[in-house]
Amino acid sequence: LEEVPLEVLRQRESKWLDMLNNWDKWMAKKHKKIRLRCQKGIPPSLRGRAWQYLSGSKVKLEQNMGKFDELDLLPGEPKWLDVIERDLHRQFPFHEMFVSRGGHGQQDLFRVLKAYTLYRPEEGYCQAQAPIAAVLLMHMPAEQAFWCLVQICEKYLPGYYSEKLEAIQLDGQILFSLLHKVSPVAYKHLSKQKIDPILYMTEWFMCAFSRTLPWSSVLRVWDMFFCEGVKIIFRVGLVLLKHTLGSSDKLKSCQGQYETMERLRALSPKIMQEAFLVQEV
């Protein structure tokens, strides 16, 4: 893992503080600079705040003061509450926030997910929202995490969490046609094996890689994702496919459909490592 030297981190923090304190000015005039700084990684101490600014969830919260508290007090739809309840202990079970059943982290996760089912009753709850909400809660309080989740579901990944998964299927096809350009070898192999993109990219995209990559890489990918949108998710997917299936010697050990799927389920740690992955993206 690349450790950022302390003085560099301090410099970055002061630059980010200046940006966050003059956000509108920066967004209007220096968007390119913001993007470069997100690519370098947001300082951990300011990450939660920066994500709220980048996603527009801070503005959303200010426009809807008291809305989360209002939803929080409502009982919620029993069919969703059961499913949410069952999913709570599966999210980052080794993280101190979520380790104990009924602890603070799990309670907040329940509140955020329940509030979303009331905010968008026509969508309800989708299991892939739980790890997303959990990552947000590690960086911000429940109300802020809720509005950030709303932005992800509506602005960044619209249609991903609806029942029929049409948006995911469409993006799977887009990913596959982009792969043709990025890595013809991987493209040809997946075509020959008749492996539909939905089989390997669903969890990647719907969970924004939070269940796939090592933690330090997840944070760096999310920093860029909040700044540049869904294209970052596509890029990460393309990098993983290219470096897993993109050359004839890599394909020696995955001749069939089963072996190929196994390889995509157990990606090489080297290609998921923060320094390598971010560079490639």
Q: Would you give per-residue pLDDT tens digits along the chain (281 residues)?
A: 457 888 988 999 999 999 999 999 999 988 899 999 999 999 999 999 999 999 999 999 999 999 999 999 999 999 999 999 999 989 998 888 888 888 899 999 999 999 999 999 999 999 999 999 999 999 999 999 999 999 999 999 999 998 888 899 999 999 999 999 999 999 999 999 999 999 999 999 999 999 999 999 999 999 999 999 999 999 999 999 999 998 888 888 888 899 999 999 999 999 999 999 999 99
> Euclidean distance between the first and final Cα of the chain, in Å?
17
Any idea where the domains of the chain sit in the sequence? 1-40, 67-156, 166-280
Give domain 67-156's CATH architecture: Orthogonal Bundle (1.10)
Angle (CA) 159 163 168, round 5°: 45
Q: Where are the alpha helices (DSSP H) in the chain?
A: 6-21, 23-29, 31-40, 47-55, 57-63, 67-73, 78-87, 104-119, 129-137, 142-151, 166-182, 184-192, 197-206, 215-228, 231-245, 248-251, 257-265, 269-272, 274-280
pLDDT at 43: 95
140 HSE (CA, 13 A, CB side): 22
Greatest Cα-to-Cα distance within the chain, rounded to the nearest angstrom:
58
| Tokens found for residue 106 | 């799990």
What sign has the CA pseudo-torsion 265, 219, 69, 162?
A: negative
- Residue whose pair of structure tokens reads 């990606």 in the numeric block: 267
Instruction: Say if pTM beats, i.e. exceeds, 0.85.
Output: yes
Superfamily (CATH H level) for 166-280 = Ypt/Rab-GAP domain of gyp1p, domain 3 (1.10.472.80)
Q: How far apart are CA 190 and CA 185, in angstroms?
A: 9
The answer to whether 228 touches 36, Cβ cutoff 8 Å, is: no
pLDDT at 2: 56
